[in-house]
Amino acid sequence: MLEQRKRLEVERRNNLDQIESLKKNDPFADPDHASDNAAVDTDVREQVGHDTIEAEIKDMKKRVEEIDNALKKINKNKYGYCERCKKPVLEARLKLIPEASFCIDCEKRLRK
Ligand SMILES: [Zn+2]
């Protein structure tokens, strides 16, 4: 259990760091952006870059939420149980996805 908590905390920090560095790479975060009279193709490129970064940040924030949820479950001694069927989640699965909230069967069902 301690090992999983450590892993989750490391994952959480990594995700937060990545969110920060992504924000810095966002062309819209460039203070020169508003004042530059760049060509249209540059604007399009910046828009695409911005949208990609926004999407990545959104995914990472969701992951951080899942990690927080898993950490809360560790504190309540409920970690490692499927939130849907309440059965224990396979250890191999938790090793692969420490923040997994569902067992493989439920995950498959929920994705349908
Ligand atoms: Zn389940």
Average pLDDT over residues 13-34: 88
**pLDDT band at residue 1 using 50, 70 and 90 as cut-offs:** low
The structure tokens listed for 107 are 């995950």
pLDDT digits (tens, 9 = 90+) for 31-75: 766 556 667 888 888 999 999 999 999 999 999 999 999 999 999
Q: What total of structural domains would you count in the chain?
A: 2
> 77-111 pLDDT, tens per residue?
999 999 999 999 999 999 899 999 999 999 999 98
Please indicate, yes or no, whether residues 28 and 56 belong to a single structural domain of this protein.
yes
Nearest 5°: the CA angle 62, 107, 10 is: 40
Between 112 and 93, residue with greater pLDDT: 93
95 lies in the same domain as 72: no
Question: What spacing in Å lies between the alpha carbon of 107 and ligand 1's midpoint?
Answer: 7
Same domain, 65 and 93: no
Question: What is the 93 CA–ligand 1 centroid distance (Å)?
Answer: 12
| Domain enclosing residue 10, as ranges | 2-79
Chain position carrying tokens 């938790």: 94
CA of 112 to the centre of ligand 1 (A): 14
* Structure-token pair, residue 55: 């999407």
pLDDT, position 35: 57
Going from the Cα of 91 to the center of ligand 1, the distance in angstroms, rounded, reads: 13
Does 75 share its domain with 85? no
Residues 66 and 89 in one domain: no
Write down the pLDDT at residue 11: 95
Give residue 97 CA to ligand 1 midpoint distance, Å.
15
* Claim to verify: residue 58 and residue 90 sit in the same structural domain: no
